[in-house]
Amino acid sequence: MDVIEIIRTKRDGGRLTPEQIDWVIDAYTHGEVAEEQMSALAMAILLNGMDRPEVGRWTEAMLASGERLDFSDLDRPTTDKHSTGGVGDKITLPLTPTVAACGAAVPQLSGRGLGHTGGTLDKLESIPGWRASLSTEEMRRVLTDTGGVICAAGPGLAPADRRLYALRDVTGTVESIPLIAASIMSKKLAEGTDSLVLDVKVGSGAFMKDEPSARELARTMVDIGKDHGVRTIALLTDMEAPLGRQVGNALEVAEAVEVLSGGGPADVVELTVALAREMLTAAGLTPGVDGVKDPAEALADGSALASWKELVRAQGGDPDAPLPVAAEHRVVTAPASGTLSRLDAYRVGLAAWRLGAGRERKEDEVSFGAGVGLHVKPGEEVGVGEPLFTLHTDEPERFDRAEQDLEGAFTIGVAEEWEQRPLIIDRID
């Protein structure tokens, strides 16, 4: 194979053969294709795209670069969820134990936050003692004992994706929908789950800012899943405003526990229940039929909370221990009275990052107690001088920049200016 010919083919709008894709992924993984050559190919893919067979084969080649987990011997069906990321998106925390409480097994490989979006592992690591890194044997034990596990992906899963992801990040090719889809799906297929539900977010705080792009990404990933024999559906969900009322690691854990205790913000509850029902159905379990508990019931009767505590303890955490609290707090008040008609998720996420809740580079540490609390959500009334946000940080010098980010994050007007957006925009299967 000639890597230059492969680059030229895609540069000129041609279609790569399965053999070319297999070879270039394997050669790049083993250092036989140079970084600058793969950079050129990634840019050609960004500019000229890939068709369905190409994306499927690219995913398969990355999947074949490492190990693939197998949980087919469990006594319950497996199902998983992947979110494309957003602000205040703590859904994995209440979702995994809820689905486990209803009878399915959830092998959830999660990541860390980068930039304005939070990472599930960072949130969970705010719980004293909780461990993200598990061996395959430990993962299997936790999954068998509790029905759910949330942990970091091991180095043996899709190593080609790990190299390519880092390269895309520094070459301006992150936005390629075929490469995004193949990256996500190679890792998810490596988990060995029977079914997969995708939460593809669209809006200010999401990676996909507009609905057509989000829809294209969802369709591409659903097709990849189906082509690989995994039952896959996607929900398009709104990320114009943050999810829930807390943005930040320990703050979001506390809010997730509220949901698991039968309370919590309505939008977090709605999305948790909707995704849980989709996951159970995809796993072949019908909520409310043949003894399968409905997720809403699991949240109300305490079984989801009990499942959460089991899951946390199984990974070394203490679910009853106090969560970290930031050393400093500042309240931002409303400059006028009226209805909050707009709340920009991206700017809220950026403010939380400024306060220390996120990281700029993968090696950065996060402040578990840092973040932003929302006193008012879109559609709610607020009076002049009343609290809009509470800022939390361990370093008070961070407050001013965070406040600057929030200055353009909201609009207060009359009730008629607010138009309610559906949380769940569409379902794609």
Point out the residues that are catalytic.
82, 161, 168, 183, 187
| Three-class DSSP category at 105 | strand
Q: How far apart are CA 278 and CA 197, in angstroms?
A: 7
The answer to whether the beta carbons of residues 277 and 271 sit under 8 Å apart is: no
Q: How far apart are CA 295 and CA 275, in angstroms?
A: 9
For residue 71, what are the CA distances in angstroms to 82, 137, 141, 148, 392? 18, 11, 11, 12, 41
Q: How far apart are CA 250 and CA 244, in angstroms?
A: 14
The answer to whether the beta carbons of residues 334 and 386 sit under 8 Å apart is: yes
Q: How far apart are CA 85 and CA 369, in angstroms?
A: 20
Q: How far apart are CA 307 and CA 49, in angstroms?
A: 43
Tell me which residue has tokens 């925390």.
Answer: 93
Residue closest to 114 by CA, chosen among 343, 345, 366, 374: 366
Q: How far apart are CA 1 and CA 7, in angstroms?
A: 11
| Sign of the alpha-carbon torsion through 306, 308, 309, 315 | positive
Q: How far apart are CA 244 and CA 242, in angstroms?
A: 6
